[in-house]
Amino acid sequence: MGIQLSIDQDLKRFDRFLNNNRKQLPFATSVAINDTAFDIRTALNKGTLGAFNKPTKFTQKAFIVTKSKKTNLVAHTFAVDKAGKDRARYLRFGVEGGQRPPKGFERYFAGLPNDGTIPSNSYFMPTSLVKTDGSGNITRATLKRITAGINGSVRGGFFIGTPSNSNKPPGVYRRSREQLYTYFVATANKPNYTGRFNIEAIASKVVQRRFNQHFNKAMSKAIATAK
């Protein structure tokens, strides 16, 4: 069992076409590659909406393009990985899966005073008391409030560690009016992601659907404007 492919075309006419328009081929090909690369960027950026739960604008605009030239017919569509704008690090675990590194707020907590019972490289799981933004991220106001509580500059102090006379695990807690409130639970177990953002499949569909259209349009324009 197999698949048989054949071309039912006048190849001599095609050869004549190539010979007559060979000079326009690199330009038209470069234009088609670039237009397709930008289509892939749009598809991948939109794809984050389905792959991730309430992705931020930061994530939705993760992908950029480096364009091809007539002398280098290669374009790249990729996630930004510059310092301070490292979308690639966040997206990698949605694409490949695996254990995620500590988030920014978790590294922040590691630098605050604690009672020494927090395991090294801990992950902090928020409870329902923690306010998050529309994308599910810990708000800056929450972090400021916890910091102020640890420093004793607001009422209802926070602390990081293990509550005394309690069977509660290490975490971030607040004591107020003799009540203990759990904000985060610390754990050394690394959260795992499953791969759910198939960028290769998305890009392949775009290439199949759009490249020939872009090439035909670019080639027709190149021939019409050739000197």
Lowest mean pLDDT: which of 54-58, 84-88, 114-118, 137-141?
A: 84-88
Domain identity same for 105 and 186: yes
pLDDT at position 19 is 67
Domain identity same for 199 and 174: no
Is residue 7 over pLDDT 50? Answer: no
Q: How far apart are CA 116 and CA 207, in angstroms?
A: 54
Does residue 143 lie within any of the structural domains?
A: yes
pLDDT at position 8 is 52
Share of the chain above pLDDT 90, in %: 14
Q: How far apart are CA 100 and CA 192, in angstroms?
A: 6
Other CB atoms within 10 Å distance of the CB of residue 170: 22
Q: How far apart are CA 185 and CA 196, in angstroms?
A: 27
Structural domain boundaries, residue 212: 12-98+194-225
Which position has the token pair 């420093």?
A: 151
Backbone angles phi and psi of 81, in degrees to 5: -130, 25
Mean of pLDDT values over 198-216 = 89
Contacts of 124 (CB under 8 A, 6+ apart): 105, 106, 109, 171, 172, 184, 185, 186, 187
User: Are the C-beta atoms of residues 44 and 214 closer than 8 Å to each other?
Assistant: no
Residue 38 confidence class, pLDDT cut points 50, 70, 90 = very high
Q: How many residues does the chain have?
A: 227
- Rg (alpha carbons) of the chain, rounded to whole number: 27
pLDDT at position 15 is 63
Is residue 17 over pLDDT 50? Answer: yes
Domain identity same for 184 and 213: no
Sheet holding 123-126, edge to edge: 123-126, 179-187, 171-176, 158-161
Task: Compare 88 and 7 and report the one with higher pLDDT.
Answer: 88
Does residue 49 lie within any of the structural domains?
A: yes
Other CB atoms within 10 Å distance of the CB of residue 183: 21
Domain identity same for 117 and 93: no
Task: Compare 132 and 124 and report the one with higher pLDDT.
Answer: 124
Is residue 179 over pLDDT 80? Answer: yes
pLDDT tens readout for residues 56-115: 777 778 888 889 998 888 998 888 776 556 666 667 666 666 677 777 788 888 888 888
User: Are the C-beta atoms of residues 194 and 52 closer than 8 Å to each other?
Assistant: no
Does residue 184 lie within any of the structural domains?
A: yes
Hey, is 202 helix, strand or coil? helix
Residue 189 confidence class, pLDDT cut points 50, 70, 90 = confident
Domain identity same for 150 and 169: yes
Domain identity same for 123 and 201: no
Residue 115, CB half-sphere, CA atoms under 13 Å: how many? 14
Rounded-to-10 torsion of CA 180, 119, 89, 56: 0
Among 136, 120, 130, smallest CA distance to 158 is for 130
Is residue 34 over pLDDT 90? Answer: yes
Question: What integer best gives the mean pLDDT of the chain?
Answer: 79
Q: How far apart are CA 132 and CA 142, in angstroms?
A: 8
